[in-house]
Chains A and B, each alone.
Chain A
Amino acid sequence: MTRWRVARLTKVRDENGTARTLVFDVPDWPGHLAGQHVDVKLTAGDGYSARRSYSLAGPEGVELTVQRVPDGEVSPYLTLDMEPGDELELRGPVGGWFVWRPDGPAPVLLVAGGAGIVPLMAMIRARRAAGADTPFRLVYAVRSPEQLCYTDELLRPDPGVSVSLAYTRRAPEGHPRPPGRLTAADLGPYGEADCYVCGPTGFVESAAALLVGLGHDPARIRTERFGPTGD
């Protein structure tokens, strides 16, 4: 059974103009698998509390990347106001389905929509940390270049990991793919793989359908959706 633990913020790192990575110190953290998430609970001075779920961004320790949602309730606090030394409550790790284990032999296809990159980045980092040679391919859809997270890390060569970016609204100058919705061409050609899809609900639905259309076995497509308001 999983209890609430006190987590103290130790470090913050801006990923872009609206996303921030928060590193927490959590005593007796039991460790986790790439893809798992935590539930966080924030309590105001008058007892009002709010809960949200966030994916763990790295293979070790408690590191969360939070996308600021305009007019959100929790994400503006986490991305703008919370300072090292501040505390919140946290429960986890949870979720044993949307996970990748470094001993998995099958090639992996990761499909991220926006902030859905976070648990998939955890898988890429876990692969690197374990020295695994499982072939990885990441297709990362974002609205515009300003929305990219982990840019430097993703563009740095990582043997066995191929990364392609799909801009849906606006691409940087010279980018070979014109901006537009994710298509089967972005995800193909078919190659046998364990697929992990994470993003907003609509994105996940359409990406999963594209994968099935390409010939992927639905039983090997694992999805994680964000709600309409992951605020």
Chain B
Amino acid sequence: MMTKPELMKRMVKGPDGLEFEVDPLRDYYCEAPPTVMPGAYIQIVEDFFNWARSQSLWILGFGTGCGAIEMRPLMTPRFDAYRFGVAWRPTPRQANLFIISGYLSTKTLKRAIRAYEQMQNPKYVIGLGSCTINGGMYWDSYNTIKKLDEYLPVDLYIAGCMPRPEALLAGFEEMKKIIRAGKAEGANQYAENFAWYKANQKRVIHDWDMPDYNW
């Protein structure tokens, strides 16, 4: 399975001339699986946290499919999602909302899983478009998944092919309600059912060449 040369254990010569051993899968990644993040010690504090979280939705700018096109007008003055406290970020470490924008080929799914796992808690996933719900027009494709919540914990689906930017704005508002109600527990679900998610992911990703948890 792990046949890629860049992932093999090997000796590397540093710029100072010293040779040392590198085992990329152990050295570059955290081996510990994700853990459930407990809520605050008292409910009112947790509610306050959730209110604050709902006000800062930072989206990972990772367009997986054609739905990414619908996100572009939201970043510009016409629909301007920034007035709702929604912003796009270039890296997973800076984002807490992952929008799977359309179909996911198994190749992209691998990258989406890596990106999701690199995001910091608390984190949320929105499935955008029919493709993430039941395959949409790619229902009989040989390399796209049809049910996103088998592989990543989804908090909210926005239906449509494609949903218009207005639908996304409504989706953001809905997402805020879910977060404020304390029901956006996707990251904890992922940690609790980690083995189940991994088994599903490995069933469709045949050349699994990354650690089980990409943190």
Real complex partners, A and B?
A: no
Residues of A within 8 A of B (CB): none
Residues of B within 8 A of A (CB): none
